[in-house]
Amino acid sequence: MAIDDEAPARPLPRFVPTLTEVVVSTPAPAPAPAAEDLSPAMPPAPHLPPAALPVPHAPAAAAPAPRTEPPDLVEALLARLGPELERQIAEAVGRVLHEQMLGFNGRVRKAVADVVHDAMASALLHHGAGTDVGENPVKWPSDT
């Protein structure tokens, strides 16, 4: 693995609110009773890209009412799915951690290489400051 290997950065989804943005849901306006009104329900916003335009909401009455399950059925379902669900969650977490560690490994190697490079450059600079360029280097006892 090369020193500069990093996990590829995923592009962030467009038009997703962040934790610092406040999202206020407003009720959909009631449809106009006049049939001859052919104007669109939402006027186009020329300053926004098409993907950022608001999507009209379906009426709340069209959504089915949530069913309430008996507690025994829920417990039986969880007991049956529990071990497999635990295994799938563990695999998913393991995959994500592995991807993160691949990127982390590359960054750590690069940081260590930078520190070693800086230390070597500093040592060579300080060691070579007292010698003349035309002189032979000093022989150390370990050089023999």
Give the position of tokens 């962040």: 18
pLDDT of 107 over the 60 cut: yes
Contact 52, 15 (CB under 8 A): yes
The structure's pTM equals 0.31
Query: ∠ CA 118-5-90 to the nearest 5 degrees?
Result: 125
Residue % of the chain over a pLDDT of 90: 19
The residue behind tokens 């693995």 is 1
What percent of the chain has pLDDT above 70? 45
pLDDT-derived band at 120 (thresholds 50, 70, 90) equals very high
Structure tokens at 89: 């969650």
Length of the chain, in residues:
144
Q: Coil, strand or helix: which one is 42?
A: coil
> Each residue of 124-138: pLDDT tens digit?
888 765 556 666 666
Q: For residue 59, what are the contacts with CB-CB under 8 A and spacing of at least 6?
A: 28
pLDDT digits (tens, 9 = 90+) for 29-38: 666 655 554 4
Contacts of 106 (CB under 8 A, 6+ apart): 1, 2, 3, 4, 5, 6, 7
Q: Which residue has the higher pLDDT, 71 or 65?
A: 71
Comparing 120 with 61, the larger pLDDT belongs to 120
